[in-house]
Amino acid sequence: MGNVTQLHETTPDELTRIIFEGLDKRLEDFKKNFQPKEPEEFLTRQEVCELLSISYGTLHQWVKKGILQPLTKGGRVYYSRKQIVKDLYNSNPGE
């Protein structure tokens, strides 16, 4: 037989209050540490050029040098906004 816990001198309302206090504390801890995921944003070549204030030629050179990583889908080229920030932070595009 499994473990059995018996409560003496505890009313159902008191037990409910204790349970909810524990849940409230856990939810508060969760809220403090919760960081929602942001949906991935993909940009076109034009949007990347506008975002970085660069020309198409510069974008092409950065891709050729491996500074930025393009993604292709259905014959179209896209760039991940998160990856752009990561790539530019870890490289020196002016080289």
pLDDT digit of tens for each residue in the chain (95 aa)? 578 777 788 888 998 999 999 999 999 988 888 877 778 899 999 999 999 999 999 999 999 998 899 999 899 999 999 999 888 877 665 55
CA atoms within 13 A on the CB side of 60: 3
The pLDDT of residue 44 = 95
The Cα diameter of the chain in Å comes to 79
The pLDDT of residue 91 = 67
pTM of the model: 0.56
CA distance 42 to 48: 9
The pLDDT of residue 24 = 93
Angle at 40 between CA 74 and CA 61, to 5 degrees: 60
Count of Cβ atoms closer than 10 Å to residue 78 Cβ: 16
Domain boundaries in the chain?
Answer: 42-89
CA distance 92 to 88: 7
